[in-house]
Amino acid sequence: MRVLVVGASRGTGAELVAELVERGHLVTAYSRQPGRHPEGVRTVTGDVLDADAVAKAMVGQDAVAVTLGIPDNPFVVRLTRRASSPLDVRSAGTRVVLDAMHEHGVGRIVVQSTYGIGDAYHRLPLALKAFFTLGIKPQVEDHERQEQMVRESGLEWTIVRPTVLHDEPTDAPAYVGTDDVAPTLRVSRRQVARVEADAIEDGALASRVLTVTSRP
């Protein structure tokens, strides 16, 4: 399968690129800054808000994964309302991706959101509720817009909501749920990447919102 990963330079996006390559897929890694990827990955450096560049990268793809985010300290972003990426990069970038998918007839998309969006907010512990409200409220609102447009896209979509991410490597399988319940609140980026790769490959996971975390 030919898969375009948008937001691939670091974090879960880079882990997803590596996971897809291990599974034998042909991967295009799209990001503003070139990341370190396995041999054979097609790297495209471009802004996700550049509709022409995204459309060119979309040609010939079978599926798309969107792992957009803001790498800056969330409290600095909240105080200054400035970041190295636009504050609405998730929704605005996803809109560009969806338009390109419709233009080129690409039907499968997996989008990374975060646990606590929508009804899952009520299941967060008090400390995380405060962080969502005081620390990352603009990002939370952008995730909400992003998820809504994905649901309304008419495409074959899956939304992945990981809990708090960390970079520790692990071969342990993740907990994956569809009922907004998270038995733990930390998960490895590579565990999330495996679930996202599964969602790309498995059409039975279409039109589902997946909670992803480590197993208790």
Instruction: Report long-range pairs for 21-26 (Cβ below 8 Å, ≥24 apart).
Output: 23/197, 23/201, 25/1, 25/200, 26/1, 26/2
**Per-residue pLDDT at 134:** 82
Distance CA 105, CA 96 (A): 14
pTM, two decimals, is 0.94
b/e sequence 16-48, b meaning 16+ C-beta within 10 Å: bbbbbbeeebebbbbbeeebebeeebebbeebb
Question: Contact 94/32 with Cβ under 8 angstroms?
Answer: no
What's the distance, CA 207 to chain centroid?
A: 15
**Per-residue pLDDT at 126:** 95
Question: Contact 87/42 with Cβ under 8 angstroms?
Answer: no
Q: Tell me if 216 is assigned to some domain.
A: no
Below-70 pLDDT ranges, the chain? 70-85
Q: Tell me if 89 is assigned to some domain.
A: yes
- The angle at the Cα of 209, spanning 189 to 49, to the nearest 5 degrees, equals 70
Q: Tell me if 51 is assigned to some domain.
A: yes
Tokens 């996006």 appear where? Answer: 13
Q: Domain with 164 in it: what CATH number? A: 3.40.50.720
Q: Tell me if 125 is assigned to some domain.
A: yes
What is the tally of structural domains in the chain? 1
**Per-residue pLDDT at 33:** 87
**Per-residue pLDDT at 101:** 98
Show the domain range for 67. Answer: 2-211
Torsion angle defined by CA atoms of residues 197, 119, 102 and 191, in that order, rounded to the nearest 10 degrees? -10
Question: Contact 166/108 with Cβ under 8 angstroms?
Answer: no
For the segment 57-103, what is each residue's pLDDT rounded down to a tens digit?
999 999 999 999 866 555 555 556 665 567 889 999 999 999 999 99
What's the distance, CA 144 to chain centroid?
A: 13
**Per-residue pLDDT at 73:** 55
Q: Tell me if 84 is assigned to some domain.
A: yes
Q: Tell me if 198 is assigned to some domain.
A: yes
Q: Tell me if 76 is assigned to some domain.
A: yes
Q: Tell me if 44 is assigned to some domain.
A: yes
